[in-house]
């Protein structure tokens, strides 16, 4: 049995795309300006980036700019005689595609996607998309166009056909467009595209799962301006929600009062008190297949909440408060017929101040959950890193100190392994 020895030395996360070689294609459109920032972000995450531009794209962005950002010569013509991949054969459409882990076209115009549907290949970028080995070099398209072009039946038919042919067509954003109109069709922002690309390369170990995550503190009101809460930042729960989404799950996050941004692709419900959280979780647990209870729910709440602020009157008298115990949300869900029947896998969290191993083992038995995740609360509240102790019926496993996202991904793998078993 492993013995908890406390936080280990910090393990810095690797860049998300280290070792990946991305061919970044630009077709014509004003969204080419976003491709410049995307290229920069990909390089910062450790990827090597080879830029290929259509003639139309060069009307919006210069090859010089993209070369400076990627650190590699930009290819714009199928007749380019430069050596690529060690092959001096004047075939960049073959050589460039064979080197790639993925071809990403951002922006992908309506015209360019229509060209791909029909297998047309009259310039370098479309040639590459057609000549790539389909099984080993995925094609990812980030559409960008006017809202009417996006909504046109021909465009929507083309998108469905591209997906049928094996391409990954990303969503579009909504908002102001360069033409002055407002609506769907904007290319996703560079940070959104980066997330989607990172997620694309993650193993989908939770594909098909409906994951429910609780995160953050609760707030138990004493009067309209005061209440009881705790130091939980919610960062661990939010990281778990992101990691589960990366792993292919449909994720719903129930969050207490925190100011964190919602992870991309994750549904979010905001709550305040323990009773609010219980109501939301009890309802959502009826359809979830995995429940990760990472929220730091208050154990007690004031027996009475004052309608008006309790005023200090200078008398020196301290108001007397009485408390009642909040319901045990995790234990209640773990005891439900769905959880007892194996349709819902429950994971609990224990934030302790000392004797983590003993308290975590006792809490797992008390809550009736198959897996309990323990950590030292004062060492992690508000921090970006953590160290975890996994406790189940077979013993314990330490996850050494690392960023919370790294740990969340490790936890997701552990959950998936137990689901498969």
Please state, in angstroms and as integers, the Cα–Cα distance from residue 197 to each residue in 15, 45, 194, 327, following that order.
13, 11, 5, 41
Query: Which strand (E) or helix (H) includes residue 7?
Result: none
- SS3 assignment, position 169: strand
Q: What is the DSSP string of 323-344?
A: EEEPP-HHHHHHTSHHHHTTSS
Fold matches, 21-200 and 210-299+323-420:
yes
pLDDT in tens, 207-246: 999 999 999 999 999 999 999 998 899 999 999 999 999 9
Say if residue 11's pLDDT is above 50. Answer: no
Q: Which CATH superfamily is domain 21-200 in?
A: Flavin prenyltransferase-like (3.40.50.1950)
What's the predicted TM-score (pTM) here? Answer: 0.90
Residue 177 CA to residue 145 CA, distance in Å, equals: 9
- Which among 9, 32, 39, 179 is annotated as catalytic? 179
Q: What is the mean pLDDT of residues 373-379?
A: 79
Give me the residue spans of the domains in the chain.
Answer: 21-200, 210-299+323-420
Place of tokens 């908890």: 4
The pair of structure tokens assigned to 399 is 């996850």
Output 101 or 92, whichever has higher pLDDT: 101
pLDDT in tens, 247-297: 999 999 999 999 999 999 999 999 999 999 999 999 999 999 999 999 999
Q: What is the CATH number of domain 210-299+323-420?
A: 3.40.50.10300
Active-site annotation holds for 179: yes
Place of tokens 């929507």: 156
Among 411, 389, 419, residue whose Cα is nearest residue 292: 411
- SS3 assignment, position 94: helix
């Amino acid at each position: 049995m492993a013995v908890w020895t406390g936080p280990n030395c910090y393990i810095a996360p690797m860049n998300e795309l280290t070792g990946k070689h991305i061919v970044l294609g630009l077709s014509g459109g004003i969204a080419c300006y976003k491709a410049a920032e995307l290229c920069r972000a990909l390089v910062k995450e450790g990827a090597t980036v080879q830029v290929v531009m259509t003639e139309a794209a060069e009307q919006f962005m210069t090859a010089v700019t993209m070369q400076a950002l990627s650190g590699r010569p930009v290819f714009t013509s199928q007749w380019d005689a430069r050596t690529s991949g060690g092959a001096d054969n004047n075939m960049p459409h073959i050589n460039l595609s064979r080197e790639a882990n993925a071809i990403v076209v951002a922006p992908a115009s309506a015209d360019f996607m229509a060209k791909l549907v029909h297998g047309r290949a009259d310039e370098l970028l479309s040639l590459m998309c057609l000549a790539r080995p389909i099984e080993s070099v995925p094609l990812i398209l980030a559409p960008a166009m006017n809202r009417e072009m996006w909504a046109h039946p021909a465009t929507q038919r083309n998108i469905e056909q591209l997906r049928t042919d094996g391409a990954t067509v990303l969503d579009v954003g909504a908002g102001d467009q360069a033409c002055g109109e407002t609506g769907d069709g904007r290319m996703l922002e560079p940070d959104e595209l980066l997330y989607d690309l990172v997620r694309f390369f993650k193993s989908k170990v939770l594909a098909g799962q409906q994951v429910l995550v609780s995160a953050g503190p609760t707030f138990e009101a004493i009067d309209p301006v005061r209440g009881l809460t705790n130091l939980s930042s919610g960062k661990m729960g939010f990281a778990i929600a992101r990691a589960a989404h990366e792993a292919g799950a449909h994720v719903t996050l129930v969050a207490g009062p925190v100011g964190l941004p919602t992870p991309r692709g994750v549904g979010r419900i905001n709550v305040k008190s323990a009773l609010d959280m219980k109501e939301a979780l009890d309802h959502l647990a009826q359809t979830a297949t995995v429940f990760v209870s990472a929220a730091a729910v208050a154990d007690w709440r004031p027996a009475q909440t004052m309608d008006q602020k309790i005023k200090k009157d200078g008398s020196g008298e301290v108001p007397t408060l009485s408390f009642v115990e909040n319901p045990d949300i995790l234990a209640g869900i773990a005891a439900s017929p769905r959880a007892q029947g194996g349709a819902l896998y429950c994971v609990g969290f224990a934030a302790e101040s000392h004797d983590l191993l003993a308290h975590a083992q006792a809490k797992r038995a008390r809550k009736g959950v198959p897996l309990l995740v323990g950590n030292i609360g004062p060492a992690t509240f508000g921090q970006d890193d953590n160290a975890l102790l996994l406790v189940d019926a077979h013993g314990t496993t330490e996850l050494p100190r690392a960023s919370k996202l790294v740990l969340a991904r490790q936890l997701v793998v552990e959950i998936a392994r137990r689901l498969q078993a």
